[in-house]
Amino acid sequence: MLIGALLTAIGIVALVAGSFIPYTSRETIPHEGNTKLTTTHEKVISVPPIAGGLALAAGIVLMVLAARK
């Protein structure tokens, strides 16, 4: 029942938010001399809607099966 509820919640969040989990990556660029160059890239991990829908459906199925017992 708990796993079903978690999957359902994750599926709903994935469908509503679409793209989430932003993060920043830093990269050091090789350079001659004493200068240190770094760049930062802001990226977002996107979740396809089909994955959110599948998680939602699987969560509902697990909760229904747990309730039947």
Q: What confidence score (pLDDT) does residue 21 get?
A: 75
Which pLDDT belongs to residue 61?
95
- What pLDDT does 6 receive? 94
| Sequence-separated (6 or more) residues with CB below 8 Å from residue 67 | 1
Write out pLDDT tens, residues 18-56. 767 788 999 888 877 788 888 999 988 888 889 999 999
Give the pLDDT confidence score for residue 7 in this predicted structure: 93
> 18 or 59: which carries more pLDDT confidence?
59
In degrees, to the nearest 5, what angle opens at C-alpha 43 toward C-alphas 23 and 15?
85
Q: Give the predicted TM-score (pTM) of the model.
A: 0.64
